[in-house]
Structure 1
Amino acid sequence: MNFINPLGFIALLSVPAIILMYILKQKFKKREVSSMVLWNKAITQSEGHKWRQKLKKNTLMFLQIAAAVLASLALANPFISAGGERLNYIFVVDTSFSMAVEDENGSRLEKAKDDILNIISDSPDGTFFSVVNLDGSPETVLSSTNKKQAAQKAVMQLAQTYGGRDTEALIPILKQLQSENPANVIIFTDKAPEEQIENASINIYGKSGVNYAVKHVSENNGNVLVKAAVYGKAGGTAPVALFGDGVIIDTKDVEFTGANESADIVFSLNGETYKEITAKILSDDILSEDNSFTYIPQVSGVKKALLVTEGNIFIEKAVSVIDGIELYKKQGTEGEIKGYDIYIFDGVLPEAMPKDGHIMIINPPEKSGIAEFEGEIDLSGITVRDGIAGGNAESLSFSANGVKKLATPLWAEEIFVSDGITAAYAGENGGIKTVVFGFDLHNSDLPLKKEFPIIIYNIMSYFSAGGIGTSGYIFAGENAVLNMAPKTVSAQVISPSGVAENVTPPNFQYSLTEEIGVYTIREDYGGGKTAESYFAVNPATEGESDTFNMEESLQGGAAENARINTGMSLKNIMILIMLIVLAAEWRVNWRGN
Structure 2
Amino acid sequence: MLKGFQSLGVNVKTIEENQMKTGDEIIVTTKMKWKELSAANPALIIPGPSDTSTALTTDVEVNGDDPLLKHVDFEKVFVEKAGSIGLKELDTAAQSGSVPLIQKGEMNGAKMVVLNLHLTDTDFPLHPGFPIFLHNAYQYLSEDGGFIGYFQPGEERTVPLATGDWDIYSGDDEFIKKSDQGDWFKAPLTPGVYQAVQGDVTKYFSVVLDDREKKPGGEAFSLEPTEDKGEEERKTIPHNLSSWFLVLAILILFIEWEVYRRGNRV
Flag the structure with higher strand content.
1
> Could you say which structure has the greater relative contact order, defined with CA pairs below 8 angstroms and 6 or more residues apart?
1
TM-score (norm: length of structure 2): 0.49
Larger radius of gyration: 1
Flag the structure with higher helix content.
2
TM-score (norm: length of structure 1): 0.24
